[in-house]
Amino acid sequence: MRVVILRRSKQLVLVLLSVFGLWLGVIVMNGKLPSHHVSLVFNQKTDATDSFPANAGTEKYLPEKSITTLETEQTQRKKLAKEVCTLSQKKPNLDSVIKDRVLLDHIIVDEEHRLLYCYVPKVACTNWKRLLMVLMGKANTTNPLAIVADDSHRLNVFRRLDNYTGEEIRYRLDHFMKFMFIRHPFERLVSAFRNKFGQNSSSADYFRSRYGRQIIKQYRTNASEESLSRGHDVTFREFVQYIIDPRTVARANFNEHWRPMVDLCLPCTIQYNVIGKYESLMDDAWLVLEKANLNQKVSFPRSDRPSSTNSLVEEYTKHLTREELLHLYHIYEMDFRLFDYHSPGFD
């Protein structure tokens, strides 16, 4: 009798151990499986090969503001832009834009994720391009900050909207998520000047040779031979004199680094889903990725060196006469009005 009871006890223990093992296996397997399925709001297809470590290249960022607050800010920005555009004479219709497609050359197309990004130089466009390179599989890294900045600006890295047919352009404008980022016009201008005329880089060497020598020759009295040959010591006031000169305005479009943002992205013609601001860059970048259901794949890179340009604007502009400052304001007036930036004494 005792032997039978002992055998049955052993059998019961084995059954319990088996059940426990199965239960533990399920728990472990569930822990390895994804807890959610990502479906893109603006992209109906999914691709099993499209996988990135969560928040590639950066730690996860969460805005302090709620998504409702961020969406409300977007509604207000787009409402103001629409009101200003309605009153403006500078409102090209879509037919004329499609006919002159070069106007769309700053809009990058991401077919897979159904995104249209209009890049504005000096408004975090390098990091946006790096992020898109990671998303589109155009880099052998999942960390956007590991991509050399110059590589993100090469001409053939991305396909632009001006490379499509008229019908294809219309479809993408109707069905893809469109976003752009903006910045205070004078802050952007100072940033462009410092970057293209003040730094030691191959890009700055080009700008000093291409523009600096011409600016010094035209706006500096008794310029030295060295300055005329190198263009290395352009002042901000000389740079502004070049920009506001009617001959400059009439001759051709500005270089993209100081061309008005409304001319680069055509917000009076294209209805953007998100108009992000440099002043709220991380929050607005998070919103773009959230609306595209991409926050689980990548995060917008955070810079360890916050821009100091904002505090320098007054220092640079104080050397301008009131008339020069007023002319400069008029060059960028639509940027000021459309995007709700203020220039005291000129609005």
Residue-level pLDDT at 206: 95
Confidence of residue 148 (pLDDT cuts 50, 70, 90): very high
Q: Does the structure show a pLDDT above 50 at 87?
A: yes
Of 18-27, 60-69, 88-97, 156-165, the least confident: 18-27
Q: What is the C-alpha separation between 252 and 196, in angstroms, rounded?
A: 19
pLDDT of residue 91: 80
Lowest-confidence range among 126-130, 215-219, 339-343? 339-343
Q: Which residue would you say has higher pLDDT here, 204 or 343?
A: 204
| Cβ atoms 106, 160 nearer than 8 A | yes
Q: Give CA angle at 243 (270, 122), nearest 5°.
A: 50
Beta carbons of 300 and 282 less than 8 angstroms apart: yes
Q: What is the mean pLDDT of residues 154-163?
A: 95
Q: What value does the mean pLDDT take over residues 130-158?
A: 94
Is 19's pLDDT higher than 50? no
Cα gap 205→211, rounded to integer Å: 10
Does the pLDDT value for residue 43 go beyond 90? no
- Strand 115-118 to 107-110 pairing: antiparallel
Residue with token string 């304001």: 329
Mean of the pLDDT values across residues 99-114?
Answer: 96
Backbone angles phi, psi at 114, to 5 degrees: 55, 55
Averaged over 84-99, what is the pLDDT?
90
pLDDT greater than 80 at residue 26: no
Instruction: Give the pLDDT band (50/70/90) at residue 344.
Output: low
Q: Which residues contact 230 (CB under 8 A, 6 or more apart)?
A: 208, 209, 212, 213
Residue with more model confidence, 44 or 337: 337
Residue 309 — very low, low, confident or very high, per pLDDT cuts 50/70/90?
A: confident
In terms of Cβ atoms closer than 10 Å to its own Cβ (0-12, 13-18, 19+), residue 300 is buried
Residue 256 burial class via C-beta count within 10 angstroms: exposed 0-12, middle 13-18, buried 19 and up: middle
Q: Which residue has the higher pLDDT, 89 or 251?
A: 89
- Look at residue 8 in the predicted model and tell me its pLDDT: 52
pLDDT, average across residues 284-298: 96
Averaged confidence pLDDT in the chain? 85
Confidence of residue 331 (pLDDT cuts 50, 70, 90): very high
Give the Å distances, CA to CA, from 322 to 309, 310, 328: 21, 20, 10
At residue 306, the pLDDT reads 54
Query: What is the C-alpha separation between 257 and 151, in angstroms, rounded?
Result: 18
Output the CA torsion sign for 123, 344, 323, 312: negative
Give residue 54's pLDDT band: very low, low, confident or very high (50, 70, 90): very low
Q: What is the mean pLDDT of residues 125-143?
A: 95
Say yes or no to pLDDT of 124 above 90: yes
* Radius of gyration of the CA atoms of the chain, in A: 27
208 near 230, Cβ under 8 Å? yes
Per DSSP, 253 falls in state P
> Half-sphere exposure of residue 39, counting CA atoms within 13 Å on the CB side?
2
The residue among 97, 21, 115, 150 whose CA lies nearest residue 265 is 97
Task: Say if residue 34's pLDDT is above 50.
Answer: no
Band (pLDDT 50/70/90 cuts) for residue 152 is very high
Asked whether the beta carbons of 286 and 300 are under 8 A apart, the reply is: yes
Q: Please identify which residue in the block is written with the tokens 């832009």.
A: 81
Kindly report which listed range (184-198, 202-216, 303-317) carries the lowest average pLDDT score: 303-317
